[in-house]
Amino acid sequence: MNRFTARLGTWMEEVVKYSRYVANGGLLFTLYFTLIYGAFVYNNFLERIDGTFPGTWIAAGVLLLMPLGHRPRTFIQEADQVFLLPELGDIRSYMVGVRLFNLVFASLRGLLVLLVLLPLLVRTESYTSIEVLSVVVTMVMLSAAGRLAKVEGVREWTILPFALVSGACLLMDWTAWAWVPAFMPFIFLHVKRNERIPLLHWLVLEEKSRAQFERVISWFVDLPTLKEEVRERRVLTRLLENRVLRRVDASRYVYGLRILRSNDSLDLILRLTVVALIVMWMSGGWYVGLVTPLFVGLTALQLVPLFKRLEAISIVSWLPITRDERIVGYSWWAMRLLVIQAVVLMIASIAFGATWDAAVGLVLSVMVTRYYLNRLK
């Protein structure tokens, strides 16, 4: 266990260090405002629904999602492929530590989801205290089972049938027994557990988890070495080349391709736009127009560190152009994408009941966009 506790201590020191940077960053205010506004919108939404709202169906759907999307930490390093080989049969305590660590994090994830889901269920369903406890235990166990499945090298979809049965228990008013099928995956995982550390598999898990951690930290702190995921997107690339790229300079051409193919740009804008539409649907009232600058600001907040990563890894840094020209090229694309997002959200806000606040939201969006893009300099 000594090796595990040493690496856990190193990880905690790193988390504390970056937490200080995040706490001192001005960008954190945007996230604070987002959480406060989101809580206000959600509370207003709960006040407008009654027992006819399908809260149980939503809970059943959330149960299906709980085993998915985990990024477990293993604290394995590349050098371990050599230096840990002689000890693989003698460091089961390290494996126990990794499992317990991920079990705790999976439980915290389940509890965070319950903070949002439980008020909805209490509002729409007549659950007893035993049934509420069963929902809590079921959610936590399915989250833990999904994370441990990743650790043991078991595919996540093997946990989904158990989650499906637990969801069916909710729909059939057997809520008090929903925890029983959620417990069954642990028996399966115990049988499939690794007796020796699967170094390659755990190394891949550690790299993916660290990349996710660094992506979040990069919103607040410059991490130019962060790895980037890209897609080819042939149709969009050809369309952009024919209509736009042939008419722009070198920096705008290269940044246009990178933004189009990066999961941290175009995909980010689409995801946040969808979330904004859901928030507009839940909110209603005059303040729906404030959703536009809020989510445009969140998008711009994450596009700023993307430029610094592209500067470090993109071919545009090899071109005979100055940094100011690179900033102009990236800002040219970012401004247009953010304005398009703002216009789409403004039109949607009008459809959801906004009036004069839709125009105010659009003006604030442009101001927020300019503020964040000025941080590139």
What are the φ and ψ backbone dihedral angles of 230, each rounded to 5 degrees? -130, 160
CA atoms 158, 163, 166, 171: torsion sign: negative
pLDDT value of position 100: 92
CA atoms of 197 and 77, how far apart (whole Å): 12
pLDDT value of position 101: 93
pLDDT value of position 179: 93
By residue count, the chain amounts to 377
CB within 8 Å of 86: residues ≥ 6 apart: none
pLDDT value of position 106: 93
In order along its 377 residues, the chain shows pLDDT tens digits of: 577 888 888 888 888 877 776 666 555 666 677 777 778 778 888 888 877 888 899 999 999 999 988 889 988 887 766 666 555 555 778 888 899 999 999 999 999 999 989 888 888 888 888 999 999 999 999 999 999 999 998 888 889 999 999 999 999 989 999 999 999 999 988 888 888 778 788 888 888 888 888 777 766 665 555 565 666 667 766 777 666 666 666 667 777 777 777 766 777 788 888 888 888 877 766 578 888 888 888 888 777 767 766 665 555 566 666 777 777 777 888 888 889 999 999 898 888 887 888 888 888 888 888 888 887 76
pLDDT value of position 251: 67
CA atoms of 227 and 263, how far apart (whole Å): 11
CA atoms of 212 and 358, how far apart (whole Å): 34
Q: What is the DSSP string of 283-345?
A: H-SGGGGGHHHHHHHHHHHHHHHHHHHHHHHSGGGGSS--HHHHHHHHHHHHHHHHHHHHHHH
DSSP summary character for residue 158: G
Residue spans of the domains in the chain: they are: 2-217, 234-374
Q: Which residue has tokens 């690496």?
A: 7
For residue 337, give the nearest of 262, 231, 242, 228 by alpha carbon. 262
Query: Which residue(s) pair with 230 in the sheet?
Result: 262
CA atoms of 338 and 346, how far apart (whole Å): 12
CA atoms of 68 and 160, how far apart (whole Å): 9
CA atoms of 67 and 161, how far apart (whole Å): 11
